[in-house]
Homo-oligomer: A and B are copies of this chain.
């Protein structure tokens, strides 16, 4: 069975259980109310952006926001020992903040409907605050960021999570955002464009294609296990019960916390990845045209420009470059019930733009279109897995503020006995509870794995 076969199996849930009419009508209203026009524009015509005379780097005249630069990578790991690529350099740390409250024992989150120029569907569901430092310090000279006061010091509310987490390591150089969850009391109203909804309902929405954006997925992944403890399904049989134990931390993990940390430290020490920032001009394997910057073989991604007009933002009109991926990616956790506890098969994964070069990624994370020959480990397995083994299957977008029409198909696959407990040295079986514990700290779990971990919570 090929990747195309896998595609034919998809059955999208348009209205999963647990989604209220209230939400659907609010979101439909917001979508109608959001005017947004995104027009492809040659890089050479982007207002405010130009190629640096010395380096050819694509930069904003303010020196802020972000820049497209070159990166040279050399590594002792894998089949490609050396390559060059464009990369987004955005040293600023932004805030991805979610307000939560508990009403009669039920946890709620404050979401917003937000347009991003790279979204294939214009408006997606976002966290309460999603702001770059340029946004919230008002370099754009736009409006004040709503609810920002809960995410700066001193604040009204209790910090539940506050951690720097990486973003797409193949496209961003050392990018981190501050993932924050702050608990407030009942007195914070939903502003225009914002909506309080039960976290359970929010999780159900993760089964709808392209609705819940990357920023809220990564924040949700950082929610401590205690927020799920009430929803006990230990009584159920089979995988549902194994997932419940995996999330709650009941039941014994295959590996102790020390063993998982030691496995990861060993993996980091095994190889070297030498990364060097280089001029974007004359990057080997890449071609500059007035329109865009493209890979010689048309693979991986290109750098394109857009002009944006909208009524949804602090600033009504702007130009910017975006990364345009060459095809749809596949992001998969292979899941296995080990002694009644669901384990996820994480991959110690190098990505050139990650601050520490390696984080734990999903079992499979790739663009299948980049491989004519053999792909990465477990890609063939996932492509051939029968439909009844697919626990979760949704197409989700990556960050629409930097990526144009970026889509990944997110899968959770029940391996049954197909995949043994013994796995290659760059893989390790961990529980959801172990991953959640690691997410109190940065640089352990990459953004694709964090997204899938959030999606896992939609299953029960």
A interface vs B, CB < 8 Å?
A: 91-93, 95, 133, 153, 159-164, 178, 258-259, 261-262, 265-266, 268-269, 272, 274, 276-277, 355-356, 425, 440-443
Is the pair A258, B153 in contact by a Cβ cutoff of 8 Å? no
Is the pair A91, B160 in contact by a Cβ cutoff of 8 Å? no
| CB nearest neighbor in B for A272 | B91
| Minimal beta-carbon separation of A166 from chain B (angstroms) | 11
| CB nearest neighbor in B for A133 | B269
A441 to B437, CA, bound (A): 12
Query: In the assembly, how many copies of this chain are there?
Result: 2
Partner of A162, one of B133, B159, B266: B266
| Minimal beta-carbon separation of A221 from chain B (angstroms) | 16
Is the pair B261, A162 in contact by a Cβ cutoff of 8 Å? yes
| Minimal beta-carbon separation of A182 from chain B (angstroms) | 10
Cβ-closest 9 pairs across A and B: A162-B262, A93-B269, A159-B262, A162-B265, A441-B441, A178-B269, A159-B258, A164-B265, A91-B272
Residue numbers in B under 8 Å from A356 (CB-CB): 355, 442-443
Is the pair B153, A266 in contact by a Cβ cutoff of 8 Å? yes
A133 to B266, CA, bound (A): 13
Could you pull out 20 A-B pairs where Cβ atoms are within 8 angstroms? A91-B272, A91-B274, A93-B268, A95-B269, A153-B266, A159-B262, A161-B258, A162-B258, A162-B261, A162-B265, A162-B266, A164-B265, A164-B268, A164-B269, A178-B265, A178-B269, A261-B440, A261-B441, A355-B356, A356-B442
With contacts A178-B269, A443-B443 taken as known, whether A258 is within 8 angstroms of B160 at the C-beta atoms is yes
Is the pair A261, B443 in contact by a Cβ cutoff of 8 Å? no
Residue numbers in B under 8 Å from A441 (CB-CB): 261, 441
Residue numbers in B under 8 Å from A162 (CB-CB): 258, 261-262, 265-266
| CB nearest neighbor in B for A151 | B266
A277 to B274, CA, bound (A): 13
Residue numbers in B under 8 Å from A92 (CB-CB): 272
| CB nearest neighbor in B for A182 | B262
